[in-house]
């Protein structure tokens, strides 16, 4: 059996080739069965689902030897506990490994206590059905990155464990191309420019993030003005070097250019709003969400490695707002 793999139902059996002599057990299995993430394989070993030469082994770091027989039992994939819900989705791309959607503003991505229905995950469970191959032992979609409830735009979601593992690594390695469009107060200067600052939890308000002097995670946002809409408002493009919670919202707010409609980081009427006609000012102050749209997402497909790029138009509510507050020159 040297070098051969056989599959008997959920039992995966292989023998160790010489080139893998002394390799960690979990690393060997993740190399051999690339449909499963290393973290998943490590969990299976620790849960007692692995045997080495017919003897159970629960230590993922166990070194293996040439010609060892390794058996890995994959438990049956369980149905996810959340309820599938028929919620309309704008699908930009889909195959057996991933799905790309244009998320509307107002749609929560992942269920949380007190908000377990009507989310993107509920919608994907209904849409994908049996095409979900199983992630972490459950038949569910794999959320790789999130957009805030009231941020619209492009998102990619994994349908397989292999896709989740690879795309998560790409996001962590900053090899994903992400562009956002936003409407902010004021006219950022210089343009183009960049904003850097570690982002962490606000010690005075746990619902907010902030730029911190100690701790937090490094974050960098590159921006440039696309259009000066009027003397008090700009339409800008943001390109992320990192992807931290509320990153664009925090960075622009700290620079004195909070997003129009931001319910968290815009608590007062900006002084610059006073220079606008009352009708334009009211339109801006009444906008019901942060004016932020994830307009472009580009990545290498986790299986084919082919580059895919998806771009969406500005949503209608942001388009309407721009038209209503534009000062013609």
- The C-alpha atoms of residue 247 and residue 278 are separated, in whole angstroms, by 31
148 catalytic? Reply is: yes
190 preceded by a cis bond (ω within 30 of 0): yes
What 3-state class would DSSP assign to 84?
A: coil
- Residue 219 structure tokens: 């974050």
Given the residues 26, 86, 130, 148, the one annotated as active site = 148
* Tokens 């606000």 -> residue: 202
Burial of 8 (0-12, 13-18, 19+ CB in 10 A): exposed
- Residue 224 structure tokens: 């440039």
Q: What are phi and psi of 34, to 5 degrees?
A: -75, -5
- The C-alpha atoms of residue 142 and residue 124 are separated, in whole angstroms, by 10
192 preceded by a cis bond (ω within 30 of 0): yes
Catalytic residue list: 148
């Amino acid at each position: 059996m040297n070098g051969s793999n056989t599959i008997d139902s959920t039992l995966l059996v292989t023998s160790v080739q010489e080139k893998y002599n002394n390799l960690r057990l979990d690393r060997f299995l993740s190399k051999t069965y690339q449909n499963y993430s290393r973290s998943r394989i490590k969990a299976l070993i620790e849960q007692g689902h692995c045997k080495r030469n017919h003897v159970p082994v629960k230590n993922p770091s166990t070194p293996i030897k040439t010609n060892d027989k390794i058996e890995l039992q994959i438990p049956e994939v369980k149905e996810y506990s959340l309820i599938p819900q028929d919620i309309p989705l704008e699908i930009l791309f889909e195959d057996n490994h991933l799905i790309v959607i244009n998320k509307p503003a107002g749609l929560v991505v992942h269920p949380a206590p007190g908000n377990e229905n009507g989310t993107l995950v509920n919608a994907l469970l209904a849409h994908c059905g049996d095409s979900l191959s199983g992630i972490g032992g459950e038949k569910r979609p794999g959320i790789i990155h999130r957009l805030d409830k009231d941020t619209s735009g492009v998102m990619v979601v994994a349908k397989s464990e292999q896709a989740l593992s690879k795309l998560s690594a790409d996001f962590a390695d900053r090899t994903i191309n992400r562009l956002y469009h936003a409407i902010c107060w004021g006219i950022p200067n210089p343009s183009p420019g960049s904003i850097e600052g570690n982002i962490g939890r606000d010690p005075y308000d746990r619902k907010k993030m902030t730029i911190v002097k100690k701790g937090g995670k490094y974050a960098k946002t590159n921006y440039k003005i696309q259009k000066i809409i009027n003397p008090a408002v700009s339409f800008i493009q943001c390109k992320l070097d990192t992807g931290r919670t509320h990153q664009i919202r925090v960075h622009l707010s700290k620079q004195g250019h909070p997003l129009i409609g931001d319910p968290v980081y815009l608590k007062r009427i900006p002084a610059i709003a006073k220079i606008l006609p009352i009708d334009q000012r009211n339109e801006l102050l009444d906008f019901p969400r942060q004016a932020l749209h994830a307009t472009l997402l580009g990545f290498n497909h986790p299986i084919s490695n082919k580059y895919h790029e998806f771009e969406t138009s500005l949503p209608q509510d942001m388009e309407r707002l721009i038209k209503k507050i534009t000062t013609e020159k």
